[in-house]
Structure 1
């Protein structure tokens, strides 16, 4: 049995977050904030407005929450560098 660490146990170097991932995280936080505002507005004015306006408020709140979930997933994903490294230092491919 070999004493070397198996390839599937080697650590993976994750690159730092890129600009668009940081922007996506900011958009996610803003969308979650807008969804929270939408919930509060719907609770405050829910009984005073017609059913179609109440449905529009709920749809807008849901949309903001869904955008927040997607942007948070995109911003929080760490994609490792999958480019294989050569073991031979003279190989410059």
Structure 2
């Protein structure tokens, strides 16, 4: 992948979205909120520069910004799910 995209993904065009773009965006868009709630690093910029540049480009799409819930809302939901899961396992 580094040979194909040595500088990462800087621009994604809405008109040319592919299935892989949608999957990568859907899976990794909430990674910052997941990292915040779980207090772990999911994507290491040194090990995953292509995925990080891809997700950054995805998150900058106007359509995506209009559709995704705000970061704080995702964090709140993940905290609730985590608290509920940890509470039921004890």
TM-score by length of 1: 0.31
TM-score by length of 2: 0.31
If you compute each CA radius of gyration, which structure gives the higher value, 1 or 2? 1
The higher-RCO structure (CA 8 Å, 6+ apart) is: 1
